[in-house]
Structure 1
Amino acid sequence: MGEATRRLVALLDLERLDTDLFRGQQPETVRQRVYGGQVAAQALIAASRTVEEGMHVHSLHSYFLLPGDYQVPIIYDVERIRDGRSFATRRVLARQHGRPIYYQSLSFQRAEEGLEHQDVMPEVRPPEQGVDLMTRMAERGTDDGLSKEWAALDVRWLGNSSHGLEPDPMHPAQTQVWIRVDGRLSDDPIEHLATFTYASDVSLLGATLAAHPDTSPRNIQMASLDHTIWFHRPFRADEWWLYDQWSPSASGGRGLALGRIFTQDGTLVATVAQEGLIRPSR
């Protein structure tokens, strides 16, 4: 495990302050507001530490309320909504300066057998043929300090509807990237779910701009408004997974982006949805 990955794992290892109350530290960064994937991942860790052994998160739904401040820690307050035999429900409120900045609801389930089906993975180029996302961001002048903050992630951009992907009249705004945590993680499933949650916020909202080649993050005000993940099957976040993204709609200064997560063998392991602000800069 490299130093950047060790820092990420440590960042997600929360301090317990009291029963159901946790504190999350901040990374060293030059950015002005907290990266949304960090808050979502830390909230997931907080909630996971309040459920019985054998309960595994299968979905989380969240809202970003205020921009986070990197200068102070984040306090995570977990509310135990329900503890059943098969399912458990938690709500997490993240606070800074006495104000709520993020809200997350999670559902956990004990493993059980059931019906099985899934979408077929699209045919794509392998990760080795993708473009390093940090290099692409630097070339476009959109780094904003993210290359240091995302140093634990290996992200290979395959293309979008404007460049690199075949046009699809049914889906005018598409993006595809391969991602993995850069370094071997432990075998703790929560570590993989949390680092995946951290990475799931990478590039997803950018898919909403794929149908608008004349725009770029430099002249668009972008901010995540909500974030939802459904976990379908176990997987390792430190092995390549395809982030197949598309945006079915943009209107009213907002864009909706969806993403399917496939492992290299074609297994659909998660689905992500996010709506965000995509307002022309004023």
Structure 2
Amino acid sequence: MTNPAERLVDLLDLEQIEVNIFRGRSPQESLQRVFGGQVAGQALVAAGRTTDGDRPVHSLHAYFLRPGRPGVPIVYQVERVRDGRSFTTRRVTAVQQGRTIFNLTASFHQPEEGPFEHQLPPAREVPDPEALPTVTEEIRKHLGALPERLERMARRQPFDIRYADRLRWNAEEIEGADPRSAVWMRAVGPLGDDPLVHTCALTYASDMTLLDAVRIPVEPLWGPRNFDMASLDHAMWFHRPFRADEWFLYDQESPIATGGRGLARGRIYDLQGRLLVSVVQEGLFRAL
């Protein structure tokens, strides 16, 4: 398979090795740790595979406990916490080489009509995604050519990412910048019609840029790194059905960074401005 979207679908297709036990691949990457969005997405697949399929996930809460090792398989153990009339709850533990690296609790809800509806609109207007360059095009324009490592990553990237705000490249440009970032995203190819795959693919994507909002006031997003960072926890609430291979706007902000930790909040909208998903994550930041 050469299409990165197909590779993502394959990455999320876990091997079932027992009734409540699944095994996921962890590609050999030139990264220090397994990408957190991959572990979260695979854990949600494991949880969803133990439900009857007619209840979409409405929320997840997860903790990143240890860094995963690229190239080493991850085993997902599912606990069937509750099967109620309207809600199903699953707890998933991710184990690699005998050590727990991640755990997740997911809740699934039988669709029903509510007595009312409302939502806040997007906080600001942003350019249409088709009018924006891809992040790869922006980097190439600035650098002339991508470093070999970034070129390899760009070829494997399963999502088309387009920043609604201009990228900042030096300390002068970040001075006075608000801790906010907005990006358009969509899978680079079709993901099929399984709603669980789209939910897990978006879960994967939700960890890609969220901590950008914390970094914006202190360092350029694309350039020499001044800080090592790692996701500590991750929470998502799924409000409406969606497709991760259609454009969605990821509006991100950081209300606070202190004590070596930064909090980021994200709201995911479709092209019509409908709120699809809410996300909150805390990250750890340490000077290099």
State the alpha-carbon separation in 1 of the partners of residues 109 and 265 from structure 2.
Answer: 24
Mean CA deviation greater in 119-128 or 1-10: 1-10
Query: CA offsets, 1:49-94, max 9 Å, x none?
Result: 1112311100001011111111210000001111100001111000
Q: For 1:67-78, list aligned pairs within 5 A.
A: 67-78=67-78
State the alpha-carbon separation in 2 of the partners of residues 160 and 109 from structure 1.
Answer: 39
Residues 28 and 71 in structure 2, CA contact (< 8 A), matched pair in contact too: no
- 2:162 maps to what in 1? 156
Identity of aligned residues (%): 49
- 2:241 maps to what in 1? 234
When residues 94 and 148 of structure 1 are mapped into structure 2, their CA distance, relative to the original with a 3 A threshold, is farther
2:205 is equivalent to residue 199 of structure 1: yes
What TM-score do the two structures reach when normalised by structure 1?
A: 0.90
2:188 is equivalent to residue 186 of structure 1: no
Q: How many angstroms does 1:187 deviate by?
A: 1.4
Residues 58 and 230 in structure 1, CA contact (< 8 A), matched pair in contact too: yes
Query: CA offsets, 1:226-246, max 9 Å, x none?
Result: 111100000111000000000
Q: How many angstroms does 1:148 deviate by?
A: 4.2
Query: CA offsets, 1:27-54, max 9 Å, x none?
Result: 2422231000000000000000111231
Residues 161 and 174 in structure 1, CA contact (< 8 A), matched pair in contact too: no
State the alpha-carbon separation in 2 of the partners of residues 175 and 36 from structure 1.
Answer: 20
- 2:128 maps to what in 1? 126
State the alpha-carbon separation in 2 of the partners of residues 253 and 146 from structure 1.
Answer: 28
Q: How many angstroms does 1:214 deviate by?
A: 6.5
Q: CA RMSD in A?
A: 2.4
When residues 234 and 217 of structure 1 are mapped into structure 2, their CA distance, relative to the original with a 3 A threshold, is farther
Q: For residue 131 of structure 1, what is the amino acid of its counterpart?
A: P
When residues 84 and 236 of structure 1 are mapped into structure 2, their CA distance, relative to the original with a 3 A threshold, is same
Alignment equivalent of 1:177, drawn from 183, 199, 204: 183
Query: Unpaired runs of 5+ in structure 1?
Result: none
Q: For 1:3-22, list aligned pairs within 5 A.
A: 3-22=3-22
Residues 82 and 89 in structure 1, CA contact (< 8 A), matched pair in contact too: yes
State the alpha-carbon separation in 2 of the partners of residues 10 and 250 from structure 1.
Answer: 36
Residues 257 and 275 in structure 1, CA contact (< 8 A), matched pair in contact too: yes
Query: Unpaired runs of 5+ in structure 2?
Result: none
- 1:218 maps to what in 2? 225
- 1:209 maps to what in 2? 215
What TM-score do the two structures reach when normalised by structure 2?
A: 0.88
Residues 26 and 70 in structure 2, CA contact (< 8 A), matched pair in contact too: yes
Please state whether the residue corresponding to 1:44 is helix, strand or coil.
Answer: helix
- 1:117 maps to what in 2? 118
State the alpha-carbon separation in 2 of the partners of residues 105 and 235 from structure 1.
Answer: 21
- 2:43 maps to what in 1? 43
State the alpha-carbon separation in 2 of the partners of residues 32 and 135 from structure 1.
Answer: 26
Residues 31 and 144 in structure 1, CA contact (< 8 A), matched pair in contact too: no
When residues 217 and 225 of structure 1 are mapped into structure 2, their CA distance, relative to the original with a 3 A threshold, is farther
Q: For residue 270 of structure 2, what is the amino acid of its counterpart?
A: T
Please state whether the residue corresponding to 1:29 is helix, strand or coil.
Answer: coil
Residues 168 and 220 in structure 2, CA contact (< 8 A), matched pair in contact too: no
